Structure 1
């Protein structure tokens, strides 16, 4: 157990910590969010004794759609000293709205800790506000359940609706309180119930949607299936990779696509099938059957080119007509070829970087799986040493495509890069709770805010505050902030107003061949959504 749990505070000290606010429940955690003390109405709210939550992650108390934003708020507490009253929803069946306040307590001779008070919202909430989970939130929650062995994660329901989707149908899709549903693509939905979806539950939801669709008299059909959240003998990394690929396949090609990819026998069946194709992927990497597109990243103040991001583009049709860049990356991770792919991409980027002039750099994405490998670190060092001048034009983006288990090893790799003068960027910040832990564990020069939050900030004051908090946290650790998926001038101005330094998106330029620095132009478009392969 953590040091915070070994020696709890005295009663008087704890009273001081919580005296600033009344509460139904009191919680004390270490800085990693591990619960070391609980008191109050846990039986009423969760149906379990307070002490049963000892040693658990604080996120277990928070409803899944609110976990990412709550993780951001907790990450700011050591810097700000406290958490101002913040509305969240509890992870109980009712998803009860609660106000959480907190204090970062650091007493002489004591390990620092977070003291939180939780109480009911004093005024009614708008039930429609921020009520719809995103596809990213659904995926993160499914991954969290998949990583909990032996806890009955259940399945991920997959629903296809051909026909108009009314508000009544959307309510039927969510079903009971505590369920989580998100639209993955037009007419395709994912569903997680509070205890994990079952085949019977998916059948009941499908039947209810069919009835409602017939009542409209406009035709259409409904079909439902389930992807079991059970990795079996797979490693956690393999299981999560398979889940991501399965969800991406359903989003793109529906249930028929899942069958073609081998998901009829669950995650394990897919991995067995894709392992047989590992040779194809390995040869494609070795033969460099891919190219890199380069997207400009601009300063939001001067509107000058800052650097490029290298984006992987596999040879068309390599894995099938509909497979995209992310499919290639996911499959490489699943069959254990991440390090080979990351080294190959870095080598191609180094060759391109030799043509740059001035202070321009190229950022390459490197998976956390690779960074925690000592063998990869040695190979990467040798590769950069073989391209000394181009190495000075390199940047590295740490992607959260895989959970980093050996943080010390990953930190050593990142520090070796920084010692060479190669800046490090933490990618997709905010998309997963682990990113906040990585910001604490690793020294980084840049933080890239996930594009979903950039888009949400245009619609919601709450999400604008969330982005502002991420900027504050990043600046506090000495990092500059990049906002991705900038689609319009309005978005660029808003991000700059929130303190973001750099912007990336089709408003500034499409990914493509590396242009000459003098010919970089701002490319605008009328479309709404950008493809981030």
Structure 2
């Protein structure tokens, strides 16, 4: 049959499933991404040019986090892992990495069939006025993660700005009103795609992909304080995260230690530790410090304190965690336990420290006949073939030790060689030693470990536990963490449990174990 014009009837080109998929997706959303299970963008379509100033093709190969504002990276890690474990992500609020931190609803679905390793993410604008909150003031962990991403080149290079607020008489514990002014000014003065975090009372860090005018921010805070009848002075420091003279590993290790030192002692401690010449200055002067720290480890200038982890149902101790306590006469900056550990990592001595602590834990385990004892194991040691061989040899020579130990995988350093880490985990599980991921939620890497490593326990970071009492958002995050842990067959421990109300809430959210002052402070090992 011919048409009225005498031409053959038009036969439309068959529409492919992919074209239908794109059309339906973009009818309901502005932007569409296909990503791998590792979070790398495989395909992009939609309004990326107008929203982010980047063409869709330029995003291929980048991590999906680059689309989002820095303050949302930690929350996105949780959401992405929910998508991986449940094959679906319900609409969730995130902010784009643009000047206005545009609020978008992100939804996700795993593709079926041969493309099961691919996941689809859509971004739809929200018809809500004022939904973009701008930068939020968090704790040190998201700040550390963002800084590490910049230092490793995962995200575009930027700077770490440090602000130290002095109240009258040099106090570093500003009153409530001054702290509120500081937080509000940081939230409004820095770029929407920057991330601010409170490292300690009166000490703040700002991660920015462009150099922030910290002096102007400090002057504004001082002026606001005077206008409110308060006295304050603000000192600022900036560390570049794009030093070509350092490898990404050197930069990330030095950066972790800089954040720890500044949080503990401010600008003075930073200079004392060798950061007056920036990150490169610290690395250049590391040789002499390495000798001193190696000697402190060899001479066992530390002791162990033991804190119980109890079953919330009956409050009976399930196991004890061995906590490092450096000797009081050891030279600064190694007196604080966290500084001691991060300093060892920064100088490449994590394996030596882990082994010395492990031998001390084994000695305690031989003397005690009670529950298991948990020893911390850094990511650097976990991925070391030499450390694994020595550990397996020790446990095979004393089979009873395997029944007395438990290992907590810490995130002081990220695991780069995941295949080696998996071999260590499998070797320990084969010997009957349980494993736990420590401080789950404090950093982005822990979510990757949950997917990669088979563990028996997950310990939720204490900040989430405490914030869950006053924040519905944090309660939801804890519930999601419990859900994720159960998906891989792991039980959950909540740390920093200090009140009966916190213990009751954790039980309500499905947490099986608790650790904190409510159940016992660190001390001698019973028995």
Question: Aligned-pair distance for 1:131?
Answer: 3.7
Question: Aligned-pair distance for 1:227?
Answer: 2.2
Match of 1:449 in 2: 460
Deviation beyond 6 Å, 4+ runs, structure 1: 126-130
Match of 2:17 in 1: 12
Question: Aligned-pair distance for 1:513?
Answer: 1.1
Q: Aligned pair 1:435/2:446, yes or no?
A: yes
CA pair 167-430 structure 1, distance change in 2 beyond 3 A: closer
Match of 1:512 in 2: 523
Match of 2:319 in 1: 307
Question: Aligned-pair distance for 1:160?
Answer: 2.6
Q: After TM superposition, list the pairs within 5 Å mapping 1:239-388 onto structure 2.
A: 239-320=251-332, 323-357=335-369, 360-388=371-399
CA deviation map 1:176-220 (0-9, x unaligned): 333322222222221223x2335xx12222222233233334333
User: Retained in 2: the 8 A contact 1:365–1:398?
Assistant: yes
How far apart are the structure 2 equivalents of 1:397 and 1:496? Answer: 22
CA deviation map 1:10-57 (0-9, x unaligned): 951464488478101111101111111111111121011111111110
How far apart are the structure 2 equivalents of 1:454 and 1:129? Answer: 25
CA pair 492-15 structure 1, distance change in 2 beyond 3 A: farther
Which moved further from structure 2: 158-167 or 20-29? 158-167
Q: Aligned pair 1:143/2:148, yes or no?
A: yes
Match of 1:170 in 2: 183
CA deviation map 1:216-251 (0-9, x unaligned): 343332221212224543343332222122122222
Question: Aligned-pair distance for 1:381?
Answer: 1.5
CA deviation map 1:148-182 (0-9, x unaligned): 18943233333434265265553433413333222
User: Retained in 1: the 8 A contact 2:101–2:133?
Assistant: no
Which moved further from structure 2: 260-269 or 232-241? 232-241
Question: Aligned-pair distance for 1:476?
Answer: 0.9
Q: Aligned pair 1:238/2:253, yes or no?
A: no
Q: Aligned pair 1:88/2:101, yes or no?
A: no
Match of 2:5 in 1: none
Q: In structure 2, the residue corresponding to 1:277 is in which secondary structure?
A: helix
TM-score by length of 1: 0.89
CA deviation map 1:454-474 (0-9, x unaligned): 122112112111111111111
Counterpart selection for 1:501 from 505, 509, 512:
512
Q: In structure 2, the residue corresponding to 1:303 is in which secondary structure?
A: coil
Number of residue-to-residue matches in the alignment: 502
Rg bigger for which structure?
2
How far apart are the structure 1 equivalents of 2:329 and 2:67? Answer: 45
CA pair 368-248 structure 1, distance change in 2 beyond 3 A: same
User: Retained in 2: the 8 A contact 1:449–1:483?
Assistant: yes
CA pair 124-491 structure 1, distance change in 2 beyond 3 A: farther
Q: Aligned pair 1:133/2:138, yes or no?
A: yes
What value does the CA root-mean-square deviation take over the aligned residues? 2.3
Match of 1:461 in 2: 472
CA pair 218-168 structure 1, distance change in 2 beyond 3 A: closer
CA pair 74-127 structure 1, distance change in 2 beyond 3 A: closer
How far apart are the structure 2 equivalents of 1:496 and 1:419? Answer: 31
Match of 1:520 in 2: none
CA pair 217-368 structure 1, distance change in 2 beyond 3 A: same
Which moved further from structure 2: 223-232 or 30-39? 223-232
Match of 2:235 in 1: 223
Point out where structure 2 has 5 or more consecutive residues left out of the alignment. Answer: 1-14, 169-176
Match of 1:30 in 2: 36
Q: After TM superposition, list the pairs within 5 Å mapping 1:62-73 onto structure 2.
A: 62-73=68-79
Q: After TM superposition, list the pairs within 5 Å mapping 1:106-125 onto structure 2.
A: 106-107=112-113, 109-124=114-129
User: Retained in 2: the 8 A contact 1:161–1:188?
Assistant: no
Question: Aligned-pair distance for 1:449?
Answer: 1.1
User: Retained in 2: the 8 A contact 1:88–1:97?
Assistant: yes
Match of 1:153 in 2: 158
CA pair 318-382 structure 1, distance change in 2 beyond 3 A: same
Q: In structure 1, the residue corresponding to 2:58 is in which secondary structure?
A: helix
Match of 1:192 in 2: 207
Match of 2:82 in 1: 76
Point out where structure 1 has 5 or more consecutive residues left out of the alignment. Answer: 1-9, 517-533
How far apart are the structure 1 equivalents of 2:126 and 2:90? Answer: 14
How far apart are the structure 2 equivalents of 1:150 and 1:85? Answer: 25
Q: Aligned pair 1:180/2:195, yes or no?
A: yes
